[in-house]
Amino acid sequence: MLLKMALVTWFAGLSAFVGALIAKWEGSTETLAKQRFVHGVVAAGGGILLSAIMYALLPEASKHLPVWAVAIAFLAGGALFCWVDEWLAKKATKASQLLAMLLDFVPEALSLGAMFAFDPRFGMLLALFIGLQNLPEGFNAFRELKDSKVTEKQRLIGFFLVAFIGPLAAFLGYYLLADAMQITALIMATAAGGILYLIFQDIAPKATMRRHWTPPLGAVIGFVLGMVGNQLL
């Protein structure tokens, strides 16, 4: 059980590294077709995140908390991510996409660890959502750091090391939160609120192109992937 949990959370985190590798190896010129593809990838990440909110985080939180508690935690998550986003803007950092990825990866991995002790099948579903969303987020975060002082090798090493945060957070959730489902539910609802904020603040605006209408279809594709994954598991 523990080995399975460690592996699925590691692979879920490793998908961000795979996304970064794709961004590195994809060395074509910045053509219009490529721009449309990149915007589509951004939209796909948003669609997957939205499906994670709808099919995993909020439904599970609602099983263990009254609606008012879920609502308060959801609002608090949005406010927290808003404050972090504003703080990052003042710092003028180029790593906002990477930090945004970590902001939703860590609480989801904590929740995954707790759920593995309670319902391993739901833990697998959550791992699927994490892995699906980390792939486009890793792709976009690597590109976002292109003009920074960090070399490609350093960026790839960083993304590879990020994958190990998943098992660490999952083990913490497994041992500390398995018997505290209400706390786990609060974490899920808070993460859901923060993720919804990120979708509309950072992801949706980057998914559109003036006079081009196909990139937002990536959001539809991403959402369908999450919906099908939910039904299969």
pLDDT at 96: 58
Helix (H, G, I), strand (E, B) or coil at 89: helix
Q: pTM of this prediction?
A: 0.85
Residue boundaries of the structural domains of the chain = 2-20+32-232
* Whole-number Å distance between alpha carbons of 177 and 186: 11
What is the DSSP-derived secondary structure letter of residue 65?
S
Q: Helical H runs in 119-176?
A: 120-144, 152-162, 165-176
The letter for the amino acid at 141 is A
Model pLDDT, residue 233 = 63
Averages of pLDDT over each 10 residues, the chain, 233 residues: 86 91 74 80 88 90 94 96 82 62 82 84 85 86 76 85 90 87 92 91 80 84 87 73
Distances (CA, A) of 207 to 39, 101, 103, 105: 5, 17, 20, 21
Residue 54's pLDDT is 92
- Which pair of structure tokens corresponds to residue 83? 């404050």
Longest Cα separation, the chain: 53
| CA nearest neighbour of 45 among 212, 195, 231 | 195
pLDDT of residue 180: 85
Contact (Cβ atoms closer than 8 angstroms) between residue 42 and residue 19? no
Provide the 3-class DSSP secondary structure of residue 33.
helix
